[in-house]
Amino acid sequence: GQQLNQSPQSMFIQEGEDVSMNCTSSSIFNTWLWYKQDPGEGPVLLIALYKAGELTSNGRLTAQFGITRKDSFLNISASIPSDVGIYFCAGQAPNSGYALNFGKGTSLLVTP
């Protein structure tokens, strides 16, 4: 499976700051997903994107499916301590069947 390039690898921010992370791929995807993983837990879906150019919000989270279909970003506004965790992007390529390609994750730390 193709690895996605996810950046930054880690972020250390203060409560109230906005956060932005992104994923890029050398090939196109049909679907982009953003997951959050808390310590000792499985990834939990935050936002799913199914169409190029699509911009979707979920509370303080906003994600976009890039026009080129090769990238996606996730923004978190006004971060709070419970935003701490690892954020993963995942994409599904055309004709990939059922496989999801995952980024290596962005570790977010938020200080009060």
- Interface residues with other proteins (CB under 8 A)? 1, 3, 30-31, 33, 35, 40-45, 48, 50, 88, 90, 92, 97-100, 102-105
Q: Which is nearer to other proteins, 43 or 66 (CB)?
A: 43
Q: Which is nearer to other proteins, 14 or 41 (CB)?
A: 41
Distance CA 58, CA 75 (A): 10
Name the minimum Å distance from CB 45 to other proteins.
6
Name the minimum Å distance from CB 85 to other proteins.
14
Q: Which is nearer to other proteins, 73 or 102 (CB)?
A: 102
Closest CA to 36 of 104, 83, 97, 101: 83
Name the minimum Å distance from CB 17 to other proteins.
25
Cα torsion angle, 85, 22, 28, 103, sign: negative
Closest CA to 46 of 67, 16, 19, 17: 19
Name the minimum Å distance from CB 78 to other proteins.
26
Say if CB 93 and CB 106 are below 8 A apart: no
